Amino acid sequence: MNNIKIVILAVVFNVLAQCFMRYNGKASQGNSFFLTVASVPAILAIFSYAISFFCMLKAFQTNEISILSPVSGGLSFILLSIFSVLFFNEAITINKAIGMMLITFGIYFINK
């Protein structure tokens, strides 16, 4: 896969955007829609998604969609699971751990 650094950057910004949205959802409970959308975490999520979008756009120029899409999706899931434990005190169950191992093996075999 070409431009692996760009793909990793896209995944990291995608995961950051989702974390900002999760934080925003918890922090803005009871606020109006406008205050929720205009909050700093929501704006950071929008910018993170934009950066992720442009990185993926660049990655799609030189990579096959049949490889790039599963790899970026799998990496996003794994990284988001790790972030959810570290920053949101969510638990990794045995099913999640097995799923992450299977995704890792799948990413390995897709790139072979």
Q: Residue 57 corresponds to which tokens in the numbers above?
A: 């756009």
Domain range enclosing 87: 4-110
What pLDDT does residue 4 have?
Answer: 84
Q: Beta-carbon neighbour count of residue 93 at 10 Å?
A: 9
Element spanning 15, H or E:
helix 4-27
What pLDDT does residue 2 have?
Answer: 64
pTM of the model: 0.83
What pLDDT does residue 110 have?
Answer: 80
Tally the domains of the chain.
1
Residue by residue, pLDDT tens for the chain (112 residues) are 567 899 999 999 999 999 999 988 777 777 777 777 788 889 999 999 999 999 999 999 988 888 888 889 888 988 999 999 999 999 988 998 898 899 888 888 887 7
Residue 62 · residue 2 · CB < 8 Å: yes
